[in-house]
Amino acid sequence: MASSSFSLSLDSKDLSHSSGEVHVIVGPMFAGKTTALLRRIKSELNAARNVVMLKSSKDTRYATDSVVTHDGIKFPCWALPNLLSFKEKYGHDAYQKLDVIGIDEAQFFEDLYEFCCKAADEDGKTVIVAGLDGDYLRRSFGSVLHIIPLADSVTKLTARCELCGKRAFFTLRKTEHQETELIGGADVYMPVCRLHYMNSQVAERIVLQSQAVKTDSLLEPTADV
C-alpha cells in the first residue's frame, strides 16, 4: 500500500527575510505608556538597531516634532496624519534600513492595523505601539484593540487614582465635551479606579441633569402679571 508524504517547502526569500514583531502598550491616561515606549526604544538604540518614532499630528500638546512624556522627557519623532504615508515620506532606502518603529498615541491612527500588518509581516520591522485602549466612556478607542491579535506581547499599564491613590484602570473626563477625540492633559482628564469612575459618572450625570433642568426653567415663558 502506497504511503502518502507531506512536504513543506519554504521560499528562499522567506528564509532570508527577518521576522517582524508587534508589541502593544495600553492603559489609561497618566499610566506611563509613553515612558514605557521610550524605554523600549532607547533599549533598541543601545542594541545598535535603527529606530524611528512616529506620532499623530493631532497631538500638539507639548511639541510637534517630539514625543514628550508628562514629566517632560523628549524624543524626536515624525508627526503624521496617517501611518501608511510614512514610508514614502521617510524614503524607501531609509525605510529599508529601519529595524524598529515606535508609535505613540496610536489610538488616533485609523490605518494602524494595516500599517502594523505590513510593517511586521511583510517588511520585517519590530513595531512598538503605545496608546489608549479605551475612551472616557470605557469604549474601544480607535484601532488599538484591533491589533491585539497581531501582537507578540501586550502590556497593560495602570495609573494611580487621583481621588484615592488605588490602581486606576480608567480615564475620567472632567469637562462636558462629548466628542471621542478631545486632546488634553490633566486639565481635561484624570485617572480613576473603578469605584470612583462609577461614582464620578453618577455625580456628573446628576450635575448635567440639574443644569439642563435649570436651563429649561429659564426658557419657559412667564405669565404676565
Amino acid at 115: F
The domain of 92 spans 18-161
H/E run at residue 66: strand 66-68
SS3 135: coil
pLDDT for the residue 214: 53
Question: What global pTM score does this model have?
Answer: 0.78
- Under 8 Å between Cβ of 32 and 132: no
Q: How would you class 196 by CB atoms within 10 Å of its CB: exposed for 0-12, middle for 13-18, buried for 19 or more? A: buried
In a domain, residue 1? The reply is no
In a domain, residue 198? The reply is no
pLDDT for the residue 10: 46
In a domain, residue 72? The reply is yes
- Under 8 Å between Cβ of 82 and 111: yes
- Under 8 Å between Cβ of 83 and 109: yes
Number of domains in the chain: 1
Residue 204 a catalytic site member: no
Alpha carbons 20 and 23: distance in angstroms, whole number: 10
Alpha carbons 146 and 75: distance in angstroms, whole number: 27
Alpha carbons 73 and 80: distance in angstroms, whole number: 20
- Under 8 Å between Cβ of 20 and 126: yes
Alpha carbons 219 and 214: distance in angstroms, whole number: 9
| Catalytic residue, candidates 105, 110, 162, 176 | 105
Q: Mean pLDDT, consecutive 10-residue segments, the chain of 225 residues?
A: 47 60 96 94 96 88 75 86 95 96 95 98 97 91 94 97 93 78 73 90 54 55 48
In a domain, residue 6? The reply is no
In a domain, residue 60? The reply is yes
In a domain, residue 110? The reply is yes
In a domain, residue 201? The reply is no
Nearest to 34 by CA among 58, 67, 78: 67
pLDDT for the residue 8: 46
pLDDT for the residue 225: 40
Q: Phi and psi for 136 in degrees, rounded to 5? A: -70, -15
User: Taking the C-alpha atoms of 105, 106, 110 and 116 in order, what is their torsion angle to the nearest 10 degrees?
Assistant: 160
- Under 8 Å between Cβ of 108 and 82: no
| CATH code: domain of residue 55 | 3.40.50.300
189 has binding-site annotation = yes
In a domain, residue 134? The reply is yes
Nearest to 120 by CA among 142, 98, 104: 98
Alpha carbons 209 and 214: distance in angstroms, whole number: 9
